[in-house]
Amino acid sequence: MQVTNSRQFLKKMMPIRRMSLVCLLSGLTFSLSAGLATIGASPSRDIQIFTEPPFFSPNETTISVGTPLTWKNRTHEPHSIVSNDCRLGNTCSFDSGFLSPNARFSLPQLNPGRYPYHCGIHPFMRGLLTIQPPQSFPSSDI
């Protein structure tokens, strides 16, 4: 008698289990496609310039190659964004020139690496930019 009840129970539960599996797979497919769309996009990043420490917010920023980056001067005085390699006599990675209050500076495309920088007008204002190489994902044979 109990075997019959178990079979009937399993028969009743089978459509629910199938529906659960379909929902699970649908959600997984949606999550994967949303994740891949995010991976392909390069959201922009902003660094705010303030008159009080840490002066650059965020003070240390890490982005991937190709991610747009903009500094925004939120103060009432001019500032500049200068890569530290500019003062060593090397090729200058970036130099914004003077940024008036509320002005912006967008970073040109740079190679992966670490770029310490400072305000050319106020050298005590310092920050660090790290640019990572693009992520590579293993190919799939699906």
Across 23-38, average pLDDT: 40
CB-CB contact of 105 with 71 (8 Å)? yes
- Per-residue pLDDT of 89-106, as tens digits, reads 778 999 999 999 999 999
Whole-number pLDDT of residue 10: 54
Cis-peptide, bond into residue 138, ω within 30° of zero: no
Across 65-78, average pLDDT: 96
For the chain, how long is the longest CA-to-CA vector? 91
CB-CB contact of 67 with 44 (8 Å)? yes
Least confident of 27-31, 67-71, 128-132: 27-31
Whole-number pLDDT of residue 33: 36
| Coil, helix or strand at residue 7 | helix
Identify which has the larger pLDDT, 20 or 106.
106
Across 118-137, average pLDDT: 93
Give the mean pLDDT of the chain.
80
Closest by CA position to 70, among listed 93, 102, 47: 47
